[in-house]
Amino acid sequence: MPGYRRFDKIYSTKSTSDLACSVENAYSATPYRRRHLSLISTVNAALGAVFYGIVRNKARMDFDIFEYGLDQNMKSGESKMRTVKQLFSLLAAAIGASLCASAVWSQSGTSIYEGDWPEYHGNELAQRYSPLDQINADNVSSLELAWQFSTVNFGPTTDFNNPSTPIEIDGILYANIGSTRNVVALEATSGQVLWMWRPQEGDRFDEAPRKGAGRGVAFWSDGQSNRVIDVTPGYRLVSLDAETGIPDPNFGENGIVDLFVGLRNADDPRFPYPDIGLSAAPFVMNDVIVVGAAHRVGMRPRSKANVKGDIRGFDARTGELLWTFRTIPERGELGFESWLDGGIEFTGNAGVWAPLSGDPELGLVYLPVESATGDRYGGDRPGDNLFSDSIVALDIKTGERRWHYQLTHHDIWDWDIPGASVLADLPNGRKILMSVTKQAWVYTFDRETGEPIWPIVEEPVPVGDVPGEWYSPTQPIPTRPAPFDRQGFTEADIIDWTSELRALALESIDGFRLAPSVYSPPSLADSPDGTRGVLHMPSATGGANWEGAAIDPETGILYVPSRTQLNVMALEKDENSDIGMSAAFGARTPRIQGLEIVKPPYGRITAIDMNSGDHLWMIANADTPDRIANHPLLEGVDVGRTGVPTRAGVFVTKSLLFVAEGTGGPGASPIFRAIDKTTGEILAEIELPNNQSGLPFTYEHDGKQYISMFVSGGGQPAELVAYALP
């Protein structure tokens, strides 16, 4: 059974006279309470907050009204009346604070207290934005390390790469750590451990397709009960008491819901454990928990048949299953007709491994769906394959589909939709949804209706010659904004720093096909024409990815991190699988003595005005790494600022854009930068203890703003670090 350990308990020292403020702070100044409370529910929540606050404060040595007020003061009528007046004074204060808090909810679109970071991407809208500005252009260069927390000894093996982004609520951080994905609560001003919960899953963990720390947890509250929500490596949904870390006995079975229950295509006798799990944080909105589905990387799938990646909604209080949305439809359902020749019966995947986002006012959650089984081959699943590679808007209460848009028909490139849809209300009042993709496009929609903001045109695309493959003749191409990274690969993209290097690079691509389009299809590793695959860009590991993008809701400017990466697409028959073709072993992207053969930048940050669709500026995401600057073939050559092909993390505040170089590519440095968000000018650089691995975020507590992130790399245990002004 999963285990619980309490490390410490922090006791408050608030006086009796401070209790009204305590109730306000515990209710109106924290994001525990969800949006749009009616007057009745607000009053009920306020009543609950008062009496829950009294009991809780008694337990925490804050206020001894039961011990003193009711046991001793009640001896006289005067004392009794004084105590009752105290209670009603507290109740009035709480109701007033609650009503104010409700107004703040509806106006802010984030949290009641905007200094918190209560969601994976900051808020349900996935904006990665904070209105904090204590850290600004005038003082950002003075940032100092406030504390650091090591993940060493938090699992059976060392956590060398932690991609988690903690959430912060009312001075407490909640995060995933360790190879077994433990959940910890940390004091936000010191990193001190308050509690830890550890899953113990045995063989189920050993066989899990998505091990490791994961990318984060979620939070739910009804105003009285506060819960941390997590999905374990073994694909169990867990609800933990936010104050103690103890599983909620009223949720599922002793705090746990088994997500294996109800899966489709999960009973293959060849595989004792279903190929399904989740690394992303679960998503919580309007009292519903939405859980995605992820599988093993599908370049060489073990079978053409796999578990179907259904998306499910659960009651946040009880864990009861509310609805299931079938991303691969059944007969009679919309989308079934987009599958041909029976492939729909056995094909799986089409889950959502990316983070989610939603609009609480519309009551819609937005699914960025991945491809169906076979990242590079779809001959066993002919047809467009709805709802793979689609944005799907669901009613979060019922799971009913409101609208969808397929971004890639019949995916054979691994063009999964990798990040949460970014939602914003533009200054002109338009409610939009932005999906940044591996292909380096921003698909932009009215998030209520699904109508494209700018035309998306079905254009003819190349078809291939792989035996048995089915090709879509067209793909949907956005007309605005322009791509935020390079698309396609031709000889014009090859480095030309020196004539010698260019000649070597041209020689290295001999024998490969070139992909002038992002939809140029894969080819055989031993094609009859003598070629050994297709070189394409930005590739499945290029463009945007799970780190998503950030938007300034005050200006409508979107900031997109991306990487330019050349890759080879080559197919061969895998004798250990019944799928028609798999990605070829041994297919290597050409390099020249360790140098990329394409022109830089290799990673970039692009600012796009989403009011007009115009690009404002673009900068390389990093300096030139030593492996390029000091390369013997480049002696005496000014190569400029090349950037690095990494997963850079970004967030934006009222005053600045913050960017870390990230991990995932050669040459990354442990540097965190503050950037002028209107010009792209670098204002400050802060050296980190290691490379950023989890996305950076910010929060404020006790009047001080912090910037925090997980850092990993170099064979060192991952650490969570926090920076603040002196």
What sign does the CA torsion over 278, 283, 284, 290 have? negative
- Of 313, 279, 310, whose CA–CA distance to 388 is shortest? 310
Angle (CA) 437-438-441 rounded to 5° is: 45
pLDDT surpasses 80 at 75: no
Position 81 scores a pLDDT of 42
Burial label, 189 (beta-carbon count in 10 A; 0-12, 13-18, 19+): middle
- Of 660, 657, 661, 696, whose CA–CA distance to 677 is shortest? 657
Share of the chain above pLDDT 90, in %: 79
Between 298-312, 612-626, 655-669, the lowest mean confidence (pLDDT) is in 655-669
pLDDT surpasses 60 at 111: no
CB 163 within 8 A of CB 710: yes
pLDDT surpasses 80 at 43: no
Could you report the per-residue pLDDT of 380-393, keeping only the tens digit for each? 999 999 999 999 99
12: confidence class by pLDDT, cuts 50, 70, 90 = very low
Position 85 scores a pLDDT of 45
Backbone angles phi, psi at 169, to 5 degrees: -140, 120
Position 427 scores a pLDDT of 85
65: confidence class by pLDDT, cuts 50, 70, 90 = very low
Between 62-76, 289-303, 340-354, the lowest mean confidence (pLDDT) is in 62-76
Between 64-78, 182-196, 232-246, 572-586, the lowest mean confidence (pLDDT) is in 64-78
- Residue type at 464 in one-letter notation: G
CB 722 within 8 A of CB 148: yes
Position 592 scores a pLDDT of 96
Cis peptide before 601 (omega within 30 of 0): yes
165: confidence class by pLDDT, cuts 50, 70, 90 = very high
d(CA 493, CA 599): 6
Could you report the per-residue pLDDT of 393-445, keeping only the tens digit for each? 999 999 999 999 999 999 999 999 999 999 999 888 899 999 999 999 999 99
The residues, ordered by sequence, that sit 6+ positions from 667 with a Cβ below 8 Å of its Cβ are: 622, 625, 626, 627, 628, 644
Position 245 scores a pLDDT of 98
Could you report the per-residue pLDDT of 626-646, keeping only the tens digit for each? 999 999 999 999 999 999 999
78: confidence class by pLDDT, cuts 50, 70, 90 = very low
Between 89-93, 256-260, 456-460, 604-608, the lowest mean confidence (pLDDT) is in 89-93
Could you report the per-residue pLDDT of 358-387, keeping only the tens digit for each? 999 999 999 999 999 999 999 999 999 999
Position 156 scores a pLDDT of 86
101: confidence class by pLDDT, cuts 50, 70, 90 = very low
- Average pLDDT of 14-21? 28
pLDDT surpasses 90 at 158: no
Position 542 scores a pLDDT of 87
Could you report the per-residue pLDDT of 563-595, keeping only the tens digit for each? 999 999 999 999 999 999 999 988 899 999 999
The tokens 């009859």 sit on which residue? 528
Share of the chain above pLDDT 70, in %: 85
